[in-house]
Structure 1
């Protein structure tokens, strides 16, 4: 009988069921998975905001004929404040995620102790969603009931969809976002360091920021598995729109 849903499954040999054969197969087959998704997300948040917000501030002040020295002072102050704010936001978000996980862990642990039959039934229901019949998932349920810690981890992952957070995640997220924001924020401000005329510096900043967005989008595409060139164009387009909107808002405020 052909596998369901068009899947083509390779034939399994009888020897592969032994522990030794399983270890040998796993040793021969090394999968490469991208495991730095959280860090990449933090870098994307930090660099994207760093490229956009200081650029809009500097461009808005340039339109008001402010000198480059004043723009640099305001820009550096904004980068410092933005890095602290973004880093703190990343820390609180990661800390809240860890607190939520612990609350759910304690609740699930209490349910396993107080209503084990109900929790076992939930395990069966979860496994049935993968097409397993009662006679197939019954031994799995009974095995989990003998291993409370494994049972608890199973419920957290498959019932609630929660992964155990890294205890260092909050601090790492804060530092990553803050540093990324500073790196991104320095790009649009760099022309104002070397060009005394604010208006000329602004046009140079526009070009430099677009190049940085293209480069950042390309690197992001490489890390996340997307098409790098498409990612570069999308990132530059979205970043340009965000920068233009922020610049227009700054000009509107100045006109009031």
Structure 2
């Protein structure tokens, strides 16, 4: 095991942008999969790539707006929930002070501190009600204050990721006029991107990267195959 000198500063490496990464994963995974399945399905039913492009672009626009709006509403809900719980906690600190101090003592008791320290910390914390409420929000309710711009950032990140992912399976249809020929290139390009995306997504989130990449790729392949099969069936 490598020896780390005592005078060398220890730098902890933690993932601090998990919310942004989560938004990218949500947008990109759906963006790669849904337009890919749509394009594959249409390729089995139409004779012109232009129709696939038109339908695909329309789906990307609608999908990115819908996904972005979903991200925005989720962010707003999180912020509204936090503010509602904070107002309640502020009222409880004012109205039932002793009960709230007992809850502080219980938090530190669960950490193994003795009764004297529990009492001293609770009394000291009660001197600053803002910090007291901050403490209760985090350690009693398990709520961290959300970024006030989280909803807007989430909507933009998810929507943009969806657009970027959605354009990948459509690229061959912009170039090739025959949809069956374009489908082959689209499958190769999209499955490669799904594998790369799944690999890095799994690596960032601490999962086995290769198995994660295979799983994401298989999901996209099954969705596209199902759409293509259904379109061919009804077209026949």
Q: Same fold (TM over 0.5)?
A: yes
CA distance in structure 1 between the aligned counterparts of 2:126 and 2:227, rounded to whole angstroms? 57
SS at match of 1:64: coil
- Structure 1: stretches of 5+ with no match in the other structure: 1-24
* 2:98 corresponding residue in structure 1: 117
- 1:71-220 to 2 correspondences below 5 Å: 71-220=52-201
Instruction: Name the CA shift for 1:245/1:107 in 2 (closer, same or farther; >3 Å).
Output: farther
- TM value normalised by structure 1: 0.83
- Greater Cα shift, 161-170 or 237-246: 237-246
Instruction: Name the CA shift for 1:40/1:249 in 2 (closer, same or farther; >3 Å).
Output: farther
CA distance in structure 1 between the aligned counterparts of 2:140 and 2:230, rounded to whole angstroms? 45
Matched, 1:46 2:30: no
* 1:56 corresponding residue in structure 2: 37
CA distance in structure 2 between the aligned counterparts of 1:215 and 1:84, rounded to whole angstroms? 25
| Residue pair 1:218, 1:229 contacting (<8 A) in 2 also | yes
| Residue pair 2:23, 2:158 contacting (<8 A) in 1 also | yes
| Residue pair 2:42, 2:228 contacting (<8 A) in 1 also | no
- Of structures 1 and 2, the one with the larger relative CO (CA 8 A, separation 6+) is 2
Matched, 1:235 2:216: yes
CA distance in structure 2 between the aligned counterparts of 1:126 and 1:182, rounded to whole angstroms? 46
| Residue pair 2:47, 2:178 contacting (<8 A) in 1 also | no
- Greater Cα shift, 229-238 or 116-125: 229-238
* RMSD of aligned alpha carbons: 2.1
CA distance in structure 2 between the aligned counterparts of 1:205 and 1:160, rounded to whole angstroms? 48
After TM superposition, give the deviation of residue 216 of structure 1 in Å: 0.6
CA distance in structure 2 between the aligned counterparts of 1:200 and 1:49, rounded to whole angstroms? 24
CA distance in structure 1 between the aligned counterparts of 2:197 and 2:129, rounded to whole angstroms? 46
SS at match of 2:16: coil
Tell me the alpha carbon deviations over residues 90-112 of structure 1, each in whole angstroms, 9 at most, x when there is no partner. 01110111011000010001100
SS at match of 2:145: coil
Matched, 1:222 2:194: no
CA distance in structure 1 between the aligned counterparts of 2:230 and 2:141, rounded to whole angstroms? 42
| Residue pair 1:55, 1:188 contacting (<8 A) in 2 also | yes
CA distance in structure 2 between the aligned counterparts of 1:174 and 1:190, rounded to whole angstroms? 25
| Residue pair 1:55, 1:185 contacting (<8 A) in 2 also | yes
Tell me the alpha carbon deviations over residues 166-223 of structure 1, each in whole angstroms, 9 at most, x when there is no partner. 1111111000001000000001111111111111111221111110011111222332
* 1:5 corresponding residue in structure 2: none
CA distance in structure 2 between the aligned counterparts of 1:86 and 1:39, rounded to whole angstroms? 14
Instruction: Name the CA shift for 1:172/1:60 in 2 (closer, same or farther; >3 Å).
Output: same
